[in-house]
Amino acid sequence: MSSRPVALVTGSATGVGRATALRFARRGFAVAINYSRSQAEAEQTLHDVEQLGVPAILVRANVAADSEVRTMVERCRCELGGLDVLVNNAGTTHFIPHTDLEAVTAEVWHDILQVNLIGAFQCARAAMPWLKERRGCIVNVTSVAGLAGSGSSIPYAASKAALNCLTLSLAKAFAPEVRVNAVAPGPILSRWLADHPEMIEAALKFTPLRRASTTDDIADVIEFLACGTTMMTGQVLVVDGGRTM
């Protein structure tokens, strides 16, 4: 088993996941880069991580599929030597006005919950034996939507609220061996909201710091929760420029 720490970042082809993968690589971690659709971007992230001189693997896996998740975690163990940090960053949504209840179909609920909530649970379940062995940690990427009932759709907000609760449940269940925390961003300047600038503009009207987060802003907090503290668990840190205070 390798003594080098290992991080698995789901949804790390682009955005916050990519910034986080690079952040761990700069700290000397071996990194497992996960994607489900964005292969070209994932391959670029892999290249950039390897350029930092650390081992890395690229794993195509849909976190909604438990068998794929278990294979992904097993590859971390076999090819990188273990697992110290799991970042549950993979997410999805449907952009639906909150007043349009008829558009929120069973399929929409399934799509969102299967990735944002059940996917995070499945990753945590598969990773837990190895995280316990190395006294590692989990960082879940949730959203202020889960605290304020806002965001791209009602199912999205509900999924993130449930992920906040999952964070607390896992933190209680697996202490003291494994710490579990979450970061709850507000709007982020990334591909996610590229086609919805009106959402960022509306949020900034009520944001004291008057700017949206960059992907590095969120990676800062993920890195801190994973590596910068040993006494924090069960916490959901809001990173939204003060909008929800």
Which pair of tokens denotes residue 9? Answer: 């970042």
Select which of 121, 156, 174, 192 is catalytic. 156
At a CB cut-off of 8 Å and minimum separation 6, what does 9 contact? 17, 20, 21, 24, 31, 32, 33, 34, 87, 89
Q: Give catalytic status of residue 156 as yes or no.
A: yes
Which pair of tokens denotes residue 243? Answer: 């909008």
**Other C-beta atoms lying within 10 Å of the C-beta of residue 120:** 29
The amino acid sitting at 11 is G
How far is it, in rounded angstroms, from Cα 66 to Cα 19? 25
Task: Tell me the torsion sign for CA atoms 88, 92, 96, 99.
Answer: negative
Whole-angstrom Cα Rg for the chain: 17
Which pair of tokens denotes residue 199? Answer: 């959402």
How far is it, in rounded angstroms, from Cα 99 to Cα 103? 9
Helix (H) or strand (E) holding 57: strand 56-60
Side by side, the strands of the sheet bearing 236-239 are: 56-60, 30-35, 6-9, 85-88, 137-141, 179-185, 236-239
Q: Please report where in the chains the tokens 């003291």 appear, as a residue.
A: 176
Residues with a known catalytic role: 156
